[in-house]
Chain A
Amino acid sequence: MPISRRALAAAVAALLLPLSACGSGDDGGAGSTDASGKVEGDITFQTWNLRANFKSYFEGLIADFEHKYPGAHVKWVDQPAEGYPDKLSADAGGGTLPDVVNVSPDLVAPLAKAGLAMDLDKAAAKYKSEYLDGAWAGHQVPGLSGTYAFPWYLNTGPLFYNKSLFEKAGLDADRPPKTYDDLFADALQLAKKSGGKVATLANVPTIEDFGRYGVPLMNKQGTAFAFNNTKGIELLTKYKELYDAKALDPQALTATPESSGKKFLTGAVAMNPGSALDLGNFKKNAPGLYKNIGITDQITSTGHVNMYVMGLMVNSRTKHTPAAVAFAHFVTDAQNQMSFAKKVAIFPSTAGSLDDPYFTKQDGTDETRVRVAAAKSLKTAVNYTPVLFSDQMKTALRNEVAKALQGKQSPKAALDNAVKAADRLLQQG
């Protein structure tokens, strides 16, 4: 296929021509932060992988809202778990972000920086007192003033362990590890007694593990990462020891939350973090395991367990600020969070809700025991993952940690590299 120079020039011209139409996106007219007007208009509400299990709950919720505010109409869309950040970034870049969006703190940070999330300290300050202080602060972004999402549901859970595996290794199945030292000692014994067949941990340490171990993750100003200190190195060195003894699953380097859950189900791993929701799963898919299930508290060095926080962000460019703010508040108010919590093993972020008898009174079942313990621990729980810790940073940390476990570099070098990479990404962001 001979290509003449003129043809080439024509091709280049054809390529460049559309560039003139290259606009850098839109503004679409920023919505106001004044939420005091009449609640009316059509708004869109986007959730994250909740349709498959909770369709009727959300349909009922929306019907209630529309009944309360006849001028408002809510359209509900749900997105699958995978690709959610890509979906959000396409919508954010294209100016098609829904009015009310289900986010987590690490998702809200870049949106807030781009000016797409409404500052609720301005638009909805009057609702602040309805929520737990820690939960409200969960969607604040270092470097910006303001709060960028209503707190929605919280989650935390105990550590499940396989009693029969503990007994086989000569451990007291009724005395699960309570401290990191216990955990590491038990793990080594389990691996030794089973000839390397039974691991205790299935995942490499993530940023929240460092947090829970008591490693300061960032400097005081929140401008740089600091988890490469002696405490961090100590934890990683310990994990390396476990990995070498096969007490940390040899496949941990490629594990996903699903694969490690599966390993716990099949008895290849002795402990697994989870939530009350998992109990039903054990009962159904691994009845043998369910009979031997042990439940214990998350292990921390700080006394504060880790929690996950979900929020509802209001699009700062919404055309119907009063309706969007009112709806986001409606979904996250004490009553609706409570009824959602009763449908699924999550916890409300509204003040006082955790004192409800549902979260305080035992009724003898394991589910309730797990729920009550989790609710109690939530009062002091911390979301260890820094809001600014992006996906790219998580990958960098994961890869450096893996290299340390494989012995390709020292734990110190690994954490130094991870901090360096994360800091660079932080400055660019």
Chain B
Amino acid sequence: MKKRSFGQMFLGKWNTMTLVAVAVGAALFGVLMVFGSIPIFTNTYLTSAMIIPVIVGGLFGPIPAFATMLIGNFVADLIGGWGFWFDWSIGNGVLGLFIGALPLYGARIDEGIFTVTHAIIYTACCIVGNAIAFGIVTPVMTSIFYAADLEITFIQAFAGGIANTAVLVIVGIPLLFLFANRFKKRSNLKEED
């Protein structure tokens, strides 16, 4: 296994492969956001779309996950046609940065490495990411764009954060184990230097 530096893992490799992955991820995110989500509160959905940036992050790194989330939101807004909610899109992008950070703490989905420790760190990342994205970024953006009260946007964002964390943990962790297992079976070949 080749060692990669922190910066390299953070940025990911921006070749054609990554670009296509971001595009496919964004499309999946958009489709799942529009057709695979259950509205539970204003602007709040229990959506399986949240899983996509995790997978992209696990395979390609946090910045591709961030791009997937941002472009995916844009795609979802365009095909859903419910208008552009830039405050939520930016918040989602920041969240993508956190949940896509899998390679940074050693979880390598494409090499079949995902253990219970990684699952715990992943859960912590989900909670912290949601807290920052929807506890700070989105309410501030909403109050700038719409002059809404911080308190009220905070309540909305809080509901969104809880829903996201629930999906990310309940659906995300089993999926990550599943994918890690599946990639492990393929990777019994060793790379020679």
The finding on whether chains A and B are genuine partners in a shared complex, rather than unrelated, reads no
